Chain A
Amino acid sequence: MLSAEFRAQRGTFELDFAIEVEPSETVAVIGRSGAGKTTALRCLAGLVRPLQGTIQNGDRIWYDSATRTFVPSHMRDCAMVFARGALFGHMTALENVEFGLRAQGFGAKQSRERALEALDIVHAGSLSTLRAAGLSGGEVQRIGLARAAALRPSVLLLDEPLSALDIRLRPMVRDALRDTIAATKAATVLVVHDPAEAMLFAQRFVVVEDGVVVQAGDAKTLRERPATSYIASFAGTNLYRGRAKKLRDGSSRVDIGNASLIVQGEYTGDVSVLLDPDAVTLSAASSETSARNSFFGPVQAIVADRGAFRVTLASSPPISARVTAHSFEALGIQHGKTLYATFKALEVRVL
């Protein structure tokens, strides 16, 4: 298990950070730009020395201010994926993936075998002979993932692996990211500023604001007891996974269990869809509107959320809507009351 608790400084910025990650678990570190997420990750990687605290991986102590222990980056059993890949441009993709193995003294043959295996994880075997400098953004990121996976690290550190990518390239790299996390079975720390992305990969979350951890916990904790308005703004987001099928009119149908919803745009295969609770309308009866999606079910939970109420229906699948106090009273919302939730296909974000 990776467990860390430390204070660090970058210029005048101070970070107070703590995290615990079990093997095979993914913990997302969420926060706005400049919150200190990347500094935290760089401390875990050994690229930045904290001021005070401890960092421990299993029984290996990586950093302990009390005993003045500091294991440098290249001696830590971890691997890092950088936002912009940080590939060595003068080497081929394969040489990049072999680099960490050769640096540790693995022979040429063994390094090649393991590197090719790692390239397979991200389906990038065909890129192996290409010079890294000539790869596209999505390819760079997949090679970066393979390069980290080839080390078979016990700790995998991901620094905004999708943020530098064009929106259109993200789905493919997202799959590669999921496969890499699954294949390495490491204690994974994923730094992201897009909470939706964090929700896709992580089981638990550490939310950082202005250099301080404001909340840590699973999605349920964040959703039901958000510690700050920033957390509330993303924790209530409706997230569904399903299979998309193109319809004739430029929209697609996403099947989620035995229900389905309509999204704008053409999608096929496995997708994740996000729906902001602010975009969901609640009503007491089913009615004909322009909205193409409608779920219904009894009220299951009511949470105060930034001056309004977030109401969750035990529909299939469950859905949350944020309504003003005025609407809340007008509809007479209470536990167990059956309501209809409608939303437009245009409001659904497909990842």
Chain B
Amino acid sequence: MTGARLRDGTLAGLSIVGAGLFFALVAVALVGLIAHRASGGWSSWMLDAAGWAVVRQALVVSLESTLTCALIIVLTGTPVALLLARKFRGRELLEAFVSLPVVLPPVVAGLALLLAFGRRSLLGQALGAMGIHIPFSLIAVVMAQTLVAAPLYIIAARNAFEQTNPELIDAAATLRASFIYTALRVIIPPALPALGAALALAWARALGEFGATLMFAGNLPGVTQTLPIAIFFTSQENLDVAVTISLILLLVSFVVLAAARLLQARMTVG
């Protein structure tokens, strides 16, 4: 009894220290960002025209690319998740393949895309002959973001789909429903809140995507310079711009995460 209590006490103490350190780290990072602006007084919130132009351009590129990316993820990722939620031979292998980009360093993903679609690759040459040049274009930005963010959506969606009682899928089959009809009317509707949460997370990941995008799409202001890339390149010359963008991303990420959590909470309650 005493031993157990002692162990419990030690564990509780350790978790408090661990949690404290973690929150301190997050807090210090946040305070660092906000304090930088506050130390300059209110006037320093105002950027010069050139600074605003950088922010605005990057914001437009980021919104265009991530919203397109989100659309592609929903349209292609949902069928993949439905497939992964079914039992078939080789499912684990396919799942590992799909989730590979989650653990792959984004720079490697970007390099792989560049090698596949670059001017010297067969695919790149074939596309080039048709007048399509993917690297260093907005399409490249979307591709890099999709590759990195889609697995987050797919895995979460698959988990939601797996919650479907298999008997309901059987029942739908005996009621003359094809698998697509079953998916649309039986599997997907109860999973919608979870899908919303999954998409929010994937979108936030796409918005923050840096390494793969820089490798494959480069840093062309107004074309491929997304918010994170703008932070990296402006931080050396105009720190105020970098910090402003960072705060925007921070706010957006927080709102998206909170929304995702709320959706998930509603899912468990409903």
Chain A residues within CB distance 8 Å of chain B: 42, 45-47, 72-76, 78-80, 82, 84, 86-90, 99-100, 103-104, 147, 151, 157
Contacts and interface: CB of A to CB of B under 8 A. Distances in A.
Contacts of B170: 42, 45, 47, 73, 80, 82, 86
Contacts of A87: 171
A73 B170 CA distance: 8
A56 to B, nearest CB: 18
Nearest to A77: B176
Given A46-B173, A78-B174, 19 more contacts: A47-B170, A47-B174, A73-B173, A74-B172, A74-B174, A74-B175, A75-B176, A82-B171, A86-B170, A88-B186, A90-B189, A90-B190, A99-B175, A99-B185, A100-B177, A103-B176, A103-B178, A104-B176, A147-B175
Given A86-B167, A86-B168, A100 B176 contact: yes
B172 A103 contact: yes
Q: What are the 5 tightest A-B residue pairs by CB atom distance, in nearest-first order? A: A100-B175, A73-B173, A103-B177, A86-B171, A80-B174
Nearest to A75: B176
Contacts of A90: 189-190
Contacts of A147: 175
Q: What bracket does the count of chain B residues touching chain A fall in?
A: 10 to 19
Contacts of A42: 170
Contacts of B172: 74, 88, 99, 103
Contact of A86 (B165, B176, B189): B165
Contacts of B186: 88
20 contacts: A46-B173, A46-B174, A47-B173, A47-B174, A73-B170, A73-B174, A74-B174, A74-B175, A74-B176, A79-B175, A82-B170, A82-B171, A84-B167, A86-B168, A88-B172, A90-B189, A100-B176, A103-B172, A103-B175, A103-B181
Interface in B141-171: 165, 167-168, 170-171
Given A86-B170, A86-B171, A74 B178 contact: yes
Contacts of B178: 74, 103
A179 B39 CA distance: 81
A90 B178 CA distance: 19
Given A74-B178, A103-B178, A88 B168 contact: yes
B177 A99 contact: yes
A147 B190 CA distance: 20
Interface string B102-127: 00000000000000000000000000
Contacts of B173: 46-47, 72-74
Residue in B168, B171, B173, B175 whose Cβ sees the most chain A Cβ within 10 Å:
B175
Residue in B170, B176, B181, B189 whose Cβ sees the most chain A Cβ within 10 Å:
B176
B86 to A, nearest CB: 14
B263 to A, nearest CB: 16
Contacts of B190: 89-90
Contacts of A75: 176
Interface string B4-29: 00000000000000000000000000
B193 to A, nearest CB: 12
Contacts of B189: 90
Contacts of A76: 174
A132 to B, nearest CB: 11
A136 to B, nearest CB: 18
Contacts of A86: 165, 167-168, 170-171
A82 B172 CA distance: 11
Contacts of B185: 88, 99, 103
Nearest to A144: B171
Contacts of B174: 45-47, 73-74, 76, 78-80, 157
Residue in B168, B171, B181 whose Cβ sees the most chain A Cβ within 10 Å:
B171
Residue in B174, B177, B185 whose Cβ sees the most chain A Cβ within 10 Å:
B174
B161 to A, nearest CB: 14
A159 to B, nearest CB: 10
Nearest to B179: A74
B89 to A, nearest CB: 15
Nearest to A45: B174
Contacts of A82: 167, 170-171
A80 B171 contact: yes
Nearest to B181: A103
Interface string B179-204: 00100011001100000000000000
A25 B167 CA distance: 27
Contacts of B177: 74, 99-100, 103
Nearest to A72: B173
A178 B72 CA distance: 51
A73 B176 CA distance: 7
A76 B170 CA distance: 13
A90 B188 CA distance: 11
